[in-house]
Structure 1
Amino acid sequence: MTKKNKGGRKSKYHTHVEPRLIEVEGWARDGLIDEQIAKNLNVAVSTFHSYKNKFPELTESLKKNKDIADREVENALLKRALGYQFTETTFEGGVETKRVVKQVQPDTTAQIFWLKNRKPDKWRDKQDIEHSGHVDIASKAKAIDDYLNGDSS
Structure 2
Amino acid sequence: MVKSKYETHVMPYFDDIFFWRSHDWDLVAIAAELGIAKSTFLKYKKEHSDLSDLLKKAEKAKPRYIAIKAESALRDKLQDREVEEVQQEQWVDKNGVITKKHIKKIKKIIPADTTAIIFALKNTDSERWNDRSQVEVSGNVSMSNPYENLTEEELRRLANGIDGT
TM-score, structure 1 as length reference: 0.47
Select the structure of larger CA radius of gyration: 2
TM-score, structure 2 as length reference: 0.44
The structure with more helix, counted as a fraction of residues: 1
